[in-house]
Amino acid sequence: MQREGSAFQGLGVVMLKELSDHLTSVRMRVLEWLIVLVALAALYGAIQQIKDTTAEDPFLFLRLFTTSRDPLPSFVSFLSFLVPLMAIGLGFDSVNGEHSRRTLSRILAQPIYRDALLFGKFLAGLVTLSISLVTLWLLVIGLGLLLIGIPPGAEEIARSFVFLLVTIVYAGVWLALALLFSILFRSAATAALVTLGIWLLITFIWPVLAGAIAQIIVPPDPRYAALGLQTPGTAMLEQILARFSPSTLFAEVVVALLDPTTRALGPIYLSQLQGAVLGAPLPLASSVLIAWPQIVGMIATVMVLFVIGYVVFQRQEVRA
């Protein structure tokens, strides 16, 4: 059965309205200041550290993102915590908020489809996150120029730009998750708690659990243990399990992109090292190629989460 008209009628209107809501909301301002202040602290630490080490590094600029100085973690690890927080903060009440304000049935009685409302909300969230992340990225590059005084090379700019895009996709994963729970739960508080709970579980508990589960399914071989090595089977399984978490995928992509010497994510076999010049940087295309499965995995996660939310929303009753 073909529906009348376009599913995207009204999409632009919904998106612009949501975007203006996001950009003017107090919540957004708090999140932005949190991120900017934390990023500045991390960056300051990194710059101090870089100034102290005089070793020559062809990718000095990328070190801005990954270098940490005790007690502060690096810029990247800060970002991997704060980006989900920000995405969840933007998305957790997007659909159930319309329910509780009792605006949903009034808006859906206008000549638009539900598709436009949901997609508009998701796009507005993603654009808001992109604006913040691009600003942050420019800030880092600007500060780096000022404080280190060495202009970044084209390769470094390109790498950090791909990193920016991947961070936006990573934010999209959490935004889609928050949107899904805002559809599933009528109470915004429940949706926020469940989403944050899942974020904690996936980011902090799952990597530990993955190791434990792997050891149960494939018990470590004592011969490897005696040599102080991980059993290959166990290590492989652990990595497979850990990669179910988008946080793991993001961390792996970051390593591949911001450290050009990365040759593989996960265990390396001797055959892979044949003819390799250890420590030599890879070209950008090769680095992206290494991280490509992870990037695709994240994009797929966004789509799957959004589609689940879409299907549930289409079938949901609009009455309060």
Partner 1 sequence: MNEDTVIEATGLTKNYGTAVAVDHISFTVGRGEIFGLLGPNGAGKTTTILMMLGLTDISGGEVRVLGFNPAREPLSVKRRVGYLPDTVGFYDNLTAADNLRYTARLIGFRLAEREKRIADAIERVGLAEFADKRVATFSRGMRQRLGLAEILMKGAQIAILDEPTSGLDPHATAELLGIIRNFKAEGVSVLLSSHLLERVQSVCDRVALFSGGKIALMGTVPELGRQVLGGGYVVDIEADGVGLAERLALIPGVSGVEKTGIGKLRLHADRDVRPEAANEVVAMQGRLKFLGVQEPSLEAIYTRYFEAKPGEMKEGTLHAA
When the beta carbons of 72 and 116 are compared against partner 1, the nearer one is: 116
Q: Which of the residues 71 through 90 are near partner 1 (CB under 8 A)?
A: none
What is the rounded CA–CA span in Å between residue 195 and residue 177?
7
56 binds partner 1 (CB under 8 A): no
| 133 Rama class: left (phi>0) / alpha (psi -120 to 50) / beta | alpha
223 binds partner 1 (CB under 8 A): no
What is the rounded CA–CA span in Å between residue 185 and residue 192?
9
113 binds partner 1 (CB under 8 A): yes
Q: Which stretch binds partner 1 (CB under 8 A): 40-48, 99-107, 127-135, 258-266?
A: 99-107
Provide the token pair at 30: 């708090």
Shortest reach from residue 114's CB to partner 1, in Å? 9
What is the rounded CA–CA span in Å between residue 308 and residue 12?
22
3 binds partner 1 (CB under 8 A): yes
17 binds partner 1 (CB under 8 A): yes
What is the rounded CA–CA span in Å between residue 8 and residue 11?
5
Shortest reach from residue 21's CB to partner 1, in Å? 7
For partner 1, which residue of 1, 146, 270, 280 counts as binding (CB under 8 A)? 1
- Let me know how long the chain is: 320
When the beta carbons of 1 and 280 are compared against partner 1, the nearer one is: 1
Alpha helices by DSSP H, the chain: 11-24, 26-52, 60-66, 75-91, 96-100, 104-108, 114-148, 154-184, 188-200, 206-217, 222-226, 232-242, 246-258, 270-273, 284-315
30 binds partner 1 (CB under 8 A): no
Q: Which of the residues 150 through 179 are near partner 1 (CB under 8 A)?
A: none
Shortest reach from residue 103's CB to partner 1, in Å? 4
Q: Which stretch binds partner 1 (CB under 8 A): 83-91, 98-106, 233-241, 296-304?
A: 98-106
52 binds partner 1 (CB under 8 A): no
Of the candidates 46, 49, 53, 51, the one whose C-alpha atom is nearest the C-alpha of residue 77 is 46
What is the rounded CA–CA span in Å between residue 94 and residue 15?
12
109 binds partner 1 (CB under 8 A): yes
| 212 Rama class: left (phi>0) / alpha (psi -120 to 50) / beta | alpha
| Total chain residues near partner 1 (CB under 8 A) | 27
SS3 239: helix
When the beta carbons of 53 and 110 are compared against partner 1, the nearer one is: 110
29 binds partner 1 (CB under 8 A): no
- Give the CA radius of gyration of the chain: 22
For partner 1, which residue of 23, 40, 108, 236 counts as binding (CB under 8 A)? 108
For partner 1, which residue of 8, 9, 193, 308 counts as binding (CB under 8 A)? 9
Q: Which stretch binds partner 1 (CB under 8 A): 104-112, 197-205, 271-279, 301-309?
A: 104-112
125 binds partner 1 (CB under 8 A): no
Q: What DSSP element (H or E) covers 319?
A: none
Q: Which stretch binds partner 1 (CB under 8 A): 110-118, 176-184, 198-206, 252-260?
A: 110-118
Of the candidates 236, 249, 234, 168, the one whose C-alpha atom is nearest the C-alpha of residue 202 is 249
Residues in contact with partner 1 by CB under 8 A are: 1, 3-5, 9-10, 13-14, 17, 21, 24, 101-103, 105-113, 317-320
